[in-house]
Amino acid sequence: MWGNMNDYGWGNMGAGMLFFWVLLGLGFALLVRYTMGTGDAAGRKREQSALDILKERYARGEIEREEFEQKKRDLEN
């Protein structure tokens, strides 16, 4: 009676359990992704505009005021 249990292999019960665990794992992954949020809080950095980069370079002293003003005018046009 119990000797035939190994004959089923990945039959109905095994495939059902595999399907259950895959769905459970996907559900957990989606839940984690949903609760982590999106944007800066999730570890993604906001894409900087060219003007933002220019302002940072000026603030760090990499470029002089005249160069900053000229490049700023170029970007605004």
68 domain-assigned: yes
In angstroms, rounded to a whole number, what is the distance separating the alpha carbons of residues 70 and 6? 79
17 domain-assigned: yes
20 domain-assigned: yes
**Domain extent for 18:** 9-36+47-76
55 domain-assigned: yes
Predicted pLDDT of residue 14:
75
Predicted pLDDT of residue 71:
94
Domain count of the fold of the chain? 1
Spatial CA neighbour of 27 closest among 35, 16, 39, 38? 35
Predicted pLDDT of residue 15:
77
1 domain-assigned: no
Residuewise pLDDT in 10s, the chain (77 residues): 455 555 555 566 677 888 899 999 999 999 988 888 655 555 556 788 999 999 999 999 999 999 999 999 999 98
Residue 73 is which amino acid?
R
